[in-house]
Chain A
Amino acid sequence: MAEFSWDVRSPLDRALLAGPYGAHGDAGVTLTEIRNFDLVQVMARRGKAVDMATVAKTRFGVAAPETPKAVHTADATLIWSGPDQFFILAKNGKHAMDWLVPTFAASGSLSEQSHARALISISGAKARAMLAKLSSIDLHPGAFAVGAAAATSMDHTSVTLWRGNDRDGQAVLNVLVFATFAESLWHTMLDSAAEYGVAIAHSEELT
């Protein structure tokens, strides 16, 4: 009997080459793929929005976002993804489907999306300049504050975009993109960022 190994490959496994890219010198943009996360989409059932919110509050200790926001808890990020719905982004199975389905059984419909998205974290002094080439959203610090989120499109590709906590005084913008589009958008991002110099990395840590 053959031995089967089930090694996982992120959607950017082949396309991502860690290291510098584009213009030499200090990288203006840092692109980091976050790998192997858990992602579940929760949609409220009819008349159950309040129940769903209560369940979420109980499990996560914070209110699930009802407007385009991303809320951080100790071990999860709840990201608004549309009316009556949000994503639960976490690691290591702490908030995987097996746990969540019974929790939300009466109030929400859950879909496994862990493998359906790639997660790219963008930071650096030129992150906004680079994203201006991809996103029609106004990312000015005053218009897109920490915790702001958007269901939007980049390069005609649907994405979920949110601003995480600042790191080293710089904004961190996160993009969840459909997995089968990820390599294409990745190359577009590299093209857009090349003139600023890029530092490419991947990580298993959610920021």
Chain B
Amino acid sequence: MAAAAAAGQVDADTFRRLYPDDYLRKFVEQGLRPDGRPLAAARPTSIGLGAVSTTDASALVKVGSTTALAGVKCEVVPALPEAPDAGRLVVQVEMAPLCSATTRPGRPSEGAQVLTEQLSALLGSVVDARQLCIDAGKVAWAVYVDIYVLDADGSLHDACLLAALAALSSLRLRAVSIDESGRVQTGAAAAAAQQQQQGERPAGQQERRLALSCQPVSLTCGLYRGRLLADPTAEEEPLLEAQATATLDESGAVLGFAAGGTAAVGQIVVVQCLEAAKMRGKEVRAMLQQALEQAGLAADADAS
């Protein structure tokens, strides 16, 4: 470390920029983080449903300053011959150039593609594609989940997954009707057409919710000098020795465990990550339930 720094000739902000590792170490040794959190605490989280009026469902999620916006758009498409009784769920994560200094416009970055792949696999197991079938072998729903990272301040997987989950939880598939000539109508027109057709062959479907098999919530933890930091920020992420993202559902089952870093981790760290993710899941699911109730979209409200 430079003599100037030791002599206290630089202010805290300069020190933070010049010696990011020393800066973080001094905090972590005191059991704190630069933003004032304890080591095991995640940042304050908010879920805003229906942020984009032109989509079928949307959610804006903030975890600290990490911001993810998920929009869901549904389209009626011809059923694929290889899967006549199933629809499609297409997940795409995009990192806009404004989300961080290192993100460039143009081709999707590696980070965005890795997130796309992780979330597609995860959400594919949460949404049973067979419920997206409208008329077997003819038409089905294609549900496009687009997730935009607006501010990439670390732990993107957690924010993106929560945004996608919140949007899908609030999604209502519009009513669909198919008339004799095979013309497909959706929304209010479909509901009206179904009224007229009553007594005839029932074609199409009522407005309905999308059933999710579980509510996966993830937590990213980082290993820094033998200590576990929950929900690391973009400032902390490059300094971590290893990072692990555990995704668990409400029953405590593990839906994904992605770890990587420049140092190997022991079994204790794996167990601690899973435990922390389980606790965080409970917290986040309560938050999501509250947001859905406020928007009048909770599953219980629907049943009554």
Instruction: Say if A and B assemble together.
Output: no
Which residues of B are in contact with A by a Cβ distance under 8 Å? none
What is the interface of chain A, defined by CB distance below 8 A to chain B?
none
